[in-house]
Amino acid sequence: MTTTATAPTTDTELLRAAAEHVRRHDTAALLRALLPGLDGVELRALTDRCRFAHTALLVFPPDADALHRMLADAGLPADAPARPSTVVRERLAARHGQDASGLEVGILRPPVTGADGEQRVVEVFALTVPPGSDLSELACSERESQHEAHLGFEVDRPDPLVLRGLCALWERHGARPDGGGYNPHEDGTVLYFTAPAGSKAGFARVELYAPGDHRELLAEHLARHRAGQPAEALLRQLTGAWTTQALAAFAELGVPEAMDPQLPRSAEQLAQAVGADPETLRSLLRYLAMLGAVVQDGGGFRLAPSGELLRADAPGSLRPLALLYAGPFYRSFGELAGTVRTGQVAFDRLFGENHFDHFARDPYLAELFDRSMAASTRMFDPLPNHPAVRAAAAASTPGAPRTVVDLAGGTGELLARLLTAHPALHGMLLERPQVADAAREFLAGAGCGDRTACLPGEFADVPPGGDVYVLSRVLHDWTDERCREILRHLSAAMPAHADLLVVERLLPEDDSPSLATAWDLHMRCNVGGRERTAEHYARLFADAGLELVGHDPLPLDAHVLHVRKSASTPGT
First-to-last C-alpha distance (Å) of the chain: 74
**Per-residue pLDDT at 228:** 63
Length of the chain: 572
The count of other CB atoms within 10 Å of the CB of residue 553 is 12
Q: By mean pLDDT, which of 50-59, 156-165, 227-236, 369-378 is the weakest?
A: 227-236
Residues labelled catalytic: 476
Amino acid, single-letter form, for residue 412:
G
Percent residues over pLDDT 90 in the chain: 58
Per-residue pLDDT of 88-127, as tens digits, reads 888 888 888 777 778 889 999 999 998 888 899 999 999 9
Per-residue pLDDT of 444-483, as tens digits, reads 999 999 999 999 999 999 999 999 999 999 999 999 999 9
**Per-residue pLDDT at 570:** 59
Per-residue pLDDT of 170-187, as tens digits, reads 888 889 998 888 888 788
- Cβ-contact 98, 104 below 8 angstroms: no
Q: Cα–Cα distance between 140 and 214 in angstroms, integer? A: 34
Per-residue pLDDT of 330-377, as tens digits, reads 999 999 999 999 999 999 999 999 998 898 888 899 888 878 877 777
**Per-residue pLDDT at 339:** 93
Q: Cα–Cα distance between 301 and 304 in angstroms, integer? A: 9
List domains and CATH numbers for the chain: 11-231 (3.10.180.10), 239-307 (1.10.10.10), 328-373 (no CATH), 378-565 (3.40.50.150)
Alpha-carbon dihedral sign for residues 239, 240, 246, 248: negative
pLDDT band at 8 (very low <50, low <70, confident <90, very high): low
